[in-house]
Amino acid sequence: MATSEQLHKRRLSAVAKGVGSVVDAYVDHAAGGTLTDVDGREWIDFASGIAVTSVGNAAPAVVAAVREQVERFTHTCFMVAPYESYVAVCERLIELTPGRFEKRAALFNSGAEAVENAVKIARHATGRQAVVVFDHAYHGRTNLTMALTAKNMPYKHRFGPFAPEVYRAPVSYPLRDGGLTGAEAARRAIDVIEKQVGGSNVAAVLIEPIQGEGGFVVPAKGFLPALAAWAKANGAVFIADEIQTGFARTGQWFASEDEGLEPDLITTAKGMGGGLPIAGVTGRAELMDAVHAGGLGGTYGGNPIACAAALAAIETMRMLDLNAAARRIETTIRAALTDVDQGIAEVRGRGAMLAIELVLPGGEPDPTRTAAVSRRCHEAGLLTLTCGTYGNVLRFLPPLVIGDAELERGLGILRRALHT
């Protein structure tokens, strides 16, 4: 079998350089919270393929469901010849998402595609064009979602021109906005929206309840409800992008539930598919059904194999109570990071979506140390990811089924990497 080194050589002359990887180890197999590379080295997984394998890698129920489906039929295109599992995934989405109102759902392949479609639906339903997004936001890498995403490098640099009618407002970032309350931060954002866009032009206010790639920024309490209330008062659609936060990751089915939010539309992807590519837009029936027949879709959206995987993943989350597991993981990780040094400005996040922000003595971001800690984790066999506009946030996204021993072992590696 080829070694990682050999595979890496082949990669350099075959795979475009623009596609990066966090580590140079090539995966052979994975299970639960562990990856094993082709050199036989084990990695503790604090990445979950970016918050995807919440039910564990190659989760038995997902594997069985995929196997059963792939033998029955692989693809018909739901727009050509429909099948039950697509309907069943939509039923699960309607049931699990917050919002005590009549809902509909539609399925797509990726998070970016779900966000694009949520914007399409909001624009169609309102007859308006402007979309309000926030500082540090991440919504994807397609043309529209690049415009919605805040950070230039690496996501947008030299990839313009970007889609028009996208407006950016300041977010609530308690560590870096002087500790504004949620209400104050919302007032500041609403001021920008009203002055620079005009309430009657806004089709949608689109926000991650906890920012993902932007640095696991948790807004101050009250920020999200104030924005949602403003959207409602102004006839704009409030869209929660729960692609990273959704499906038990934060210890609830959706992070919006934490403040009793009932978003008009919710985008989901990542964890919902148990490792297969699937995404959804779920929300108010009158918005979703406003679009003319044939206006939404795509060849692979809600592919039967991905739907089978999603149904099995969601059932696994329910059976194993992975919401409770996420909350237990939070307790364990926070306990391991209590005696951290002053270089760590904050441990933040919710459930199994936690991060530390590393700073220099004056409070300036410290991306150099962040990269060094990350490298030391990788050298010791712990797969971690960084994030944040300033590249100074280390984030932890273990599979929710990670064993206590694996979690403790991973945290031991992390603590040593932080203290050297």
Per this entry, what is the length of the chain?
420
- ∠ CA 289-290-295, nearest 5°, is 85
Residues 214-243 that bind ligand PLP (CB under 6 A): 241, 243
Residue 107: phi and psi, rounded to 5, are -110, 145
Longest distance between any two alpha carbons in the chain, whole Å: 62
Contacting range for ligand PLP; rule: CB under 6 A; set: 73-81, 88-96, 118-126, 138-146? 138-146
- Segment 192-198 long-range contacts (CB within 8 Å, at least 24 positions apart): 192/167, 193/132, 193/167, 193/169, 193/230, 196/167, 197/130, 197/132, 197/167, 198/130
The residues, any chain, with a CB within 8 Å of residue 113's CB and separated by 6 or more, are: 140, 142, 279, 298, 301
User: Is the distance from CB of 35 to CB of 256 less than 8 angstroms?
Assistant: no
Instruction: State which of residues 202, 226, 261, 269 lies at the interface with ligand PLP (CB under 6 A).
Output: 269
How far is 305 from 312, CA to CA, in rounded Å? Answer: 11
Residue nearest to ligand PLP (CB): 111
Contacting range for ligand PLP; rule: CB under 6 A; set: 108-116, 179-187, 353-361, 377-385? 108-116
Question: 4 or 238, CB closer to ligand PLP?
Answer: 238
Residue 264 binding ligand PLP, by CB under 6 A: no
How far is 178 from 323, CA to CA, in rounded Å? Answer: 32
Which of 63, 56, 55 has its CA nearest to residue 308? 63
Amino acid present at 168 = R
Residue 212 binding ligand PLP, by CB under 6 A: yes
Question: Least CB distance from residue 177 to ligand PLP, whole Å?
Answer: 20
Question: Least CB distance from residue 363 to ligand PLP, whole Å?
Answer: 27
Beta strands in 250-374 (DSSP E): 265-268, 279-284, 344-350, 353-358
How far is 216 from 40, CA to CA, in rounded Å? Answer: 32
Question: 37 or 242, CB closer to ligand PLP?
Answer: 242
Residue 140 binding ligand PLP, by CB under 6 A: yes
Residues 171-210 that bind ligand PLP (CB under 6 A): 208
Residue 138 binding ligand PLP, by CB under 6 A: yes
Question: Least CB distance from residue 38 to ligand PLP, whole Å?
Answer: 25
Question: Least CB distance from residue 64 to ligand PLP, whole Å?
Answer: 24
Residues 24-63 that bind ligand PLP (CB under 6 A): none
Question: 207 or 220, CB closer to ligand PLP?
Answer: 207
Question: 3 or 142, CB closer to ligand PLP?
Answer: 142
Question: 96 or 397, CB closer to ligand PLP?
Answer: 397
Residue 111 binding ligand PLP, by CB under 6 A: yes
Residue 266 binding ligand PLP, by CB under 6 A: no
The answer to whether the bond into 367 is cis (omega within 30° of 0) is no
Question: 97 or 244, CB closer to ligand PLP?
Answer: 244
Residue 116 binding ligand PLP, by CB under 6 A: no
Question: 350 or 409, CB closer to ligand PLP?
Answer: 350
The residues, any chain, with a CB within 8 Å of residue 260's CB and separated by 6 or more, are: 98, 225
Binding site for ligand PLP (CB under 6 A): 110-112, 115, 138-140, 208, 212, 241, 243-244, 269-270
